[in-house]
Amino acid sequence: MVREDGKRNFALREQNGETSVFSGNTPRQAALKAARRLEPAPSEGDADRIELRLREKGTDKVHIYEGWAWRETAPDDKPDWMPSEITEANVSKKGIEHLEE
């Protein structure tokens, strides 16, 4: 279901049963937001890859991504409010499932 501003809502169900909602113009944008909340590793190579299953609200689609996060030094031209170490994230799409209702 697309909102007036063109963004779509995606629900992430976590293993402990909690649900978080992320919005974005594309499923990948929402998956990147979800991946930024993962526990960051010291480097990208050391990061654990976690499966993220995002259900698009208003549809029967579940977008499946592999996501990982890591710590990185902030760029030299960072704004004053930004900390010196930031969390970076990346995702890789694995596919789409359609729910049977």
> What is the pLDDT, as a whole number, of residue 19?
87
> What is the pLDDT, as a whole number, of residue 4?
78
How far apart are the C-alpha atoms of 51 and 33, rounded to whole Å?
A: 14
> What is the pLDDT, as a whole number, of residue 15?
73
For 41-57, what is the mean pLDDT? 94
Radius of gyration over alpha carbons of the chain, in Å?
15
For 37-50, what is the mean pLDDT? 94
Report residue 72 CA to chain centroid gap: 18
For 34-55, what is the mean pLDDT? 94
How far apart are the C-alpha atoms of 85 and 74, rounded to whole Å?
A: 5
Share of the chain above pLDDT 70, in %: 98
Query: Would the pLDDT of 101 be above 70?
Result: no
> 10-19, 35-44, 57-66, 88-97 — which is least confidently predicted?
10-19
Confidence of residue 29 (pLDDT cuts 50, 70, 90): very high
